[in-house]
Structure 1
Amino acid sequence: MAHVTETCDDDTVNIITDVTTTPATLYDIRALPDIHNRLAQRDLLPDEHLVDGGYTSIVQQDQSAREHGITLVGPVRKKRTRQSRQGNVFDRDAFTIDWERQQVVCPQGKPSREWSTPLSIAPYTRVRFAKEDCGQCPVRSSCTRGDRRQLNFLPKQLYERQAAARAAQQTTPWKANYAMRAGIESTVNEFVNGHGMRQTRYRSQTKTHVQHVLTAIAVNIERVNAELTTPAAERRPRTPTALQNFLDWQRIPRPTSWRTAGKS
């Protein structure tokens, strides 16, 4: 799989700045740190990086900001729990988190009994409520189907970043800004249909990466050449040759192109 990064500034040529080649089975988000490191080595890091949802996570947004000063812009995944899908149950937002005391209070005012961060779900924090509290709760059916309620949530800094990101991506300015990312789809199409990127010519990932890089160079040359080519109306005519001057002196019409002239 080839991960392509290009510039998208207004009124400039979109230049491909990086191509990272990974196994097709690797998740997109796993490739992003390597992409940023490669851009940093060449002093090509962007201030803002528009990425597909497959490259987006709150943890990655925080890491990109801390390590490279990059604002990672991409859709943050919505809640997918049973409580978030049904309107008659209590989702995570219905609970009050006390970060200082490491305790969560449920909608009925009962505090949680356990607060831990298991390695299996890090960096998420897990809290559990007491069985006796949930067992006697009058709204238990609207909260959990088990014997007690359990919640998983990110640390405070990431939790607040997640909430802000989800709210921001619902606004018109965010959507207008993120719409520029759609341009990379035409670049991928250019790679695939114009240069056969999905048909590797070599064996091994290393050699395939060389193919991807050479393809990116070819695309960049095409784009720069198209931008620098002067329109025909602004081109200066070439200096006539001696033969052309002789034909003009003899008032002999000369064809526009000698290649299209008739032969006998």
Structure 2
Amino acid sequence: MTARISGGAPWNVVGTQGRALPAIHNRLAQRNLLPGEHLVDGGYTSVVEQDQVDRKHGITLVGPVRQKRTRQSRKGNVFDRDAFTIDWERQHVVCPQGKLSRQWTTPPAITPYVNVRFSKEDCGKCPVKSSCTRSERRALTFLPQQLYERQAAARAAQKTGEWKANYAMRASVESTVNEFVNGHGMRQARYRSQAKSHVQHVLTAIAVNIERVNAELTAPVTERQPRTPTALQSFLDWQRIPRPSAWRTAGKT
């Protein structure tokens, strides 16, 4: 399917965000309703999770990927990670001054990453060391190649107008969540047991839909209200000075 869905934290899934998303996708897969894209908030867009969802279900998670927050990325006069060249095949990194890294390790962790270190001798004699690191030698940490490239592509895409226009469709979900929380007290269940709470959620959602349809059908057609005169326009009227034709307010030109 090439459908697109948008969602926030689900009401009927108990657990953290990391456990909620796989449960949602598994239920959609059982009903043959998996979308091509899933618009989510920043809590669901880790690169590892994006890769897992893509591999398992073929779904593209669309959401803001966190930008770099290192000291180097916050200051423009120092070398951030993008200033280094990564040679994935030979497993070494070249610094802006042409020096090669001395260590390349992948320690065991839940989220895989590569840890690279340069030698103290090269960094100690470097003429631009103050623009690179405050320690004895520079160290870099980054994701493995496939995840690193996915992360870079996601960060570049979310700066484009096309991505922003696509993700803007999720704004209605936030307003819906706000209506449920503040208008109907959905943060707390009124009944005991998950089955009764689920019925409450479904009936509340039906009631909200009916309210919205009724408001749309019975909304009175009102004429557009004229703009409030500015201080200059009010002064001209008080002095009985004719306004230029471009100034229009309540029945006057």
TM-score normalized by the length of structure 1: 0.71
Q: Which structure 2 residues correspond to residues 209-228 of structure 1 after superposition, within 5 A?
A: 211-213=200-202, 215-216=204-205, 219=208, 222=210
Give the structure with higher Rg (CA).
1
Q: Give the structure 2 partner of residue 260 of structure 1.
A: none
Answering whether residue 14 of structure 2 is matched by residue 38 of structure 1, we say no
Q: Which structure 2 residues correspond to residues 150-229 of structure 1 after superposition, within 5 A?
A: 150-203=139-192, 208=197, 211-213=200-202, 215-216=204-205, 219=208, 222=210
Answering whether residue 127 of structure 2 is matched by residue 138 of structure 1, we say yes
Q: Give the structure 2 partner of residue 238 of structure 1.
A: none
Partner Cα separation in structure 2 for residue 67 and residue 44 of structure 1: 14
Answering whether residue 81 of structure 2 is matched by residue 81 of structure 1, we say no
* Deviation for aligned residue 1:119: 1.9
Q: Give the structure 2 partner of residue 116 of structure 1.
A: 105
* Deviation for aligned residue 1:29: 3.6
Partner Cα separation in structure 2 for residue 218 and residue 43 of structure 1: 27
Partner Cα separation in structure 1 for residue 78 and residue 201 of structure 2: 50
After superposition, the CA RMSD in angstroms is 3.1
Contact 2:102-2:118 within 8 A present in 1 as well: yes
Partner Cα separation in structure 1 for residue 100 and residue 125 of structure 2: 14
**Unmatched 5+ residue regions in structure 1?**
1-5, 9-14, 230-264
* Deviation for aligned residue 1:184: 0.3
* Deviation for aligned residue 1:208: 4.6
Could you tell which deviates more after superposition, 200-209 or 71-80? 200-209
Q: Give the structure 2 partner of residue 21 of structure 1.
A: 13
**Unmatched 5+ residue regions in structure 2?**
218-253
Amino acid at match of 1:22: V
Report the secondary structure of 1:63's partner residue.
helix
* Deviation for aligned residue 1:219: 4.7
Q: Give the structure 1 partner of residue 225 of structure 2.
A: none
Report the secondary structure of 2:148's partner residue.
helix
Partner Cα separation in structure 2 for residue 7 and residue 48 of structure 1: 6
Answering whether residue 118 of structure 2 is matched by residue 126 of structure 1, we say no
| Cα distance change of structure 1 residues 141 and 30 upon mapping to structure 2, 3 Å threshold | farther
Answering whether residue 92 of structure 2 is matched by residue 106 of structure 1, we say no
| Cα distance change of structure 1 residues 122 and 54 upon mapping to structure 2, 3 Å threshold | closer
Could you tell which deviates more after superposition, 113-122 or 64-73? 113-122
Partner Cα separation in structure 2 for residue 223 and residue 177 of structure 1: 27
| Cα distance change of structure 1 residues 160 and 36 upon mapping to structure 2, 3 Å threshold | same
Q: Which structure 2 residues correspond to residues 242-257 of structure 1 after superposition, within 5 A?
A: none
Contact 1:21-1:205 within 8 A present in 2 as well: no
